[in-house]
Amino acid sequence: MGIRTPGLFFEGQCFRPPEVDTFTTLGGLPIATYTGNRYGADITNQQLGHLAPCGYSPTELHKGYKLDPVYNAGYDGSGQTVVIVDAFGSPTIQQDAELFSQLYGLPDINLTVICPSGQCTQSNQGWATETSLDVEWSHAIAPHAAIVLVVAKTNNDSDINDALSFAITNNLGSVISNSYGEPESLVPPSLLEQTNNIVSVAAAFGIGELLVRRLR
């Protein structure tokens, strides 16, 4: 398959057909030759619908994960609340999420932002991007669920665990989703045990918990 362009911003086909590329050093040696697939669009692409590298729309994800029959059966998040725990928050999350919904024809988003420690700091651009990603794509997958964003005051594990505990203690939703940019191997065992205990409490309350630790 060649590159197709169904998206508003990105190429929808991530892997290009096999090709042969030769690389030199300022036109001279050493020389390297690569044969195989290329990933995504050229980095120089500036036209909307062709931005590099690639990306999927909500509709494409629905088709890829075969979610349309699930939605047609009535399982679209209706009557449920998804809790997302992030740090610092984003000063534009409401506007960003509403624009995302409008661009992709999703239902209006029902979003509540809670800062258990008081006013959200909203000063970290990296976490602002993460917050938008988490909220918008949770809405894309469960379009009729309410979303409660619980914002930890910092990205320290202890503060994030405090925010997680707040969400559980106050029974803010039936599902809690977390996605943190750190390898689990670098988290102290005492904090891992604390997190496991918190997740166990959530399970006892009948709250589903998705906890992902990953490298950015």
Domain boundaries, the chain: 1-55, 65-213
CA quadruple 178, 183, 185, 188: dihedral sign? negative
Summarize pLDDT for 86-144 with one digit per residue, the tens. 999 899 999 999 999 999 999 999 999 999 988 777 778 889 999 999 999 999 999 99
Secondary structure E strands in the chain: 19-25, 28-36, 81-87, 111-114, 146-152, 175-180, 208-213
SS3 100: helix
> Rounded CA gap, 158 and 172, in Å?
20
C-alpha distances in Å from residue 199, one per residue of 117, 135, 142, 210:
21, 21, 22, 9
> 41 and 11 in contact (C-beta within 8 Å)?
yes
Cis peptide before 18 (omega within 30 of 0): no
- pLDDT band of 215, cuts 50, 70, 90: very low
pLDDT at residue 160 greater than cutoff 80: yes
Q: Is the pLDDT of residue 192 over 80?
A: yes
- pLDDT tens digits, 45-99: 888 888 889 888 999 899 999 999 999 999 999 999 999 999 998 999 999 999 9
pLDDT at 122: 72
CATH architecture of 65-213: 3-Layer(aba) Sandwich (3.40)
> How far apart are the C-alpha atoms of 180 and 182, rounded to whole Å?
6
DSSP H helical segments within 73-207, as ranges?
93-103, 125-141, 157-169, 189-204
Which residue has 């992709």 as its token pair?
A: 104
